[in-house]
Amino acid sequence: MKIFVTGGAGFIGSNFIRYILENYPEDSVVNFDKLTYAGNLENLQECKDDERYSFIKGDVCDYDAVAGALQGVDAVVHFAAESHVDRSIHSSHEFIQTNVFGTQVVIDAVREQGIPKMILISTDEVYGDVEAPRKSKDRDAFKPSSPYSASKAAAETLAIAAIRTHEAPIIITRCTNNYGPCQFPEKLVPLFITNLIEGKKIPLYDGGTQIRDWLNVADHCSAIDLVLRKGTLGEAYDIAAENEPEVTNREITEMVLERLGQNNEMIEPVSGLRPGHDQRYAVDSSKVRALGWKPSVSLKEGLKQTVKWYQEHENWWKRVKSGEYQKYYQEHYHV
């Protein structure tokens, strides 16, 4: 299978590419990425000499570039997206452009180029706040709370419309909070880990009472792969670790602190809620589990592995935090 991956230089996309190349010797991957601030080709350093891997610098909003790159492709996995909630609150234009318009471009190219299958990677945040003990299900209405989640909900509705109107060969996946290696250090887990390694305090919104589901990126990749190969066209699959018991942001903060030998004195309280801050996310992942998937990495073990990765890859995240990693493109890829 030849798989076309948009946003493959990002956190989840790069982990997915490595997963495919490690597990499927007969498969090949085309990585199509614009290389915005969160795209880092160093995430795929070990793949660059693999003849099954190729990189194309391109923008998902450019139809001709996308369509031209799809030649001979068997499936598209569409990760490319702006994904940071705080950034979307401060400026939403890039989110609408990439997440909405860019998704429509990819859908159009898939249809018109006759690609047999497309996976649209979405988020549990499209459901918005969910009161305990209920869990969102894949047929529930969307109630997005931020420009980011609204843009992902809009992308999904475009996909649903294409499925209904054109019988477009699309499957949607909605994942919960991911963590793991190569995550850009603006998100909670890598930000807290790298700050603590640097001896800096870690910011915690409103006491950290918000509840999130934490999914190891390796488990997410295996779920996407299963949906790609066994999922039903036109369906949506929610992917979650379904942590038991549920975990608050305060609790995961304390888990990171403990793993790094620190205490609560390193927490810097941030007063006042983030605008539109959802209190609880929770989804029912029984549909993807019925395909044969289940998470293999516990939160405790996953955090242990993730902390170790950032400790052993200090040069990577320091270059990311400083912006020096972007020089890598010019030096090695002339892009």
Q: How far is CA 305 from CA 160, 271, 309, in A?
A: 37, 31, 6
Strands 2-6 and 75-78: parallel
Is the CB of residue 132 less than 8 Å from the CB of residue 280? yes
**Measured distance CA(103)–CA(35) in Å, rounded:** 17
Half-sphere exposure of residue 52: CA atoms within 13 angstroms, side-chain side: 18
Q: How far is CA 176 from CA 59, 186, 218, 240, in A?
A: 26, 17, 13, 6
Strands 247-248 and 211-212: antiparallel
**Measured distance CA(165)–CA(17) in Å, rounded:** 31
**Residue partners of 28: CB distance under 8 A and separation at least 6:** 1, 2, 3, 52, 53, 54
Backbone angles phi, psi at 126, to 5 degrees: -65, -25
Neighbours of 272 (CB within 10 A): 8
**Measured distance CA(36)–CA(184) in Å, rounded:** 12
DSSP string covering 18-59: HHHHHH-TT-EEEEEE---TT--GGGGGGGTT-TTEEEEE--
Q: At what angle are helices 11-23 and 217-230 packed, to 10 degrees?
A: 60
Extended beta strands in the chain, E state: 2-6, 28-33, 53-57, 75-78, 118-123, 170-175, 177-179, 202-205, 211-212, 214-216, 236-239, 247-248, 267-270
Give catalytic residue positions. Answer: 124-125, 148
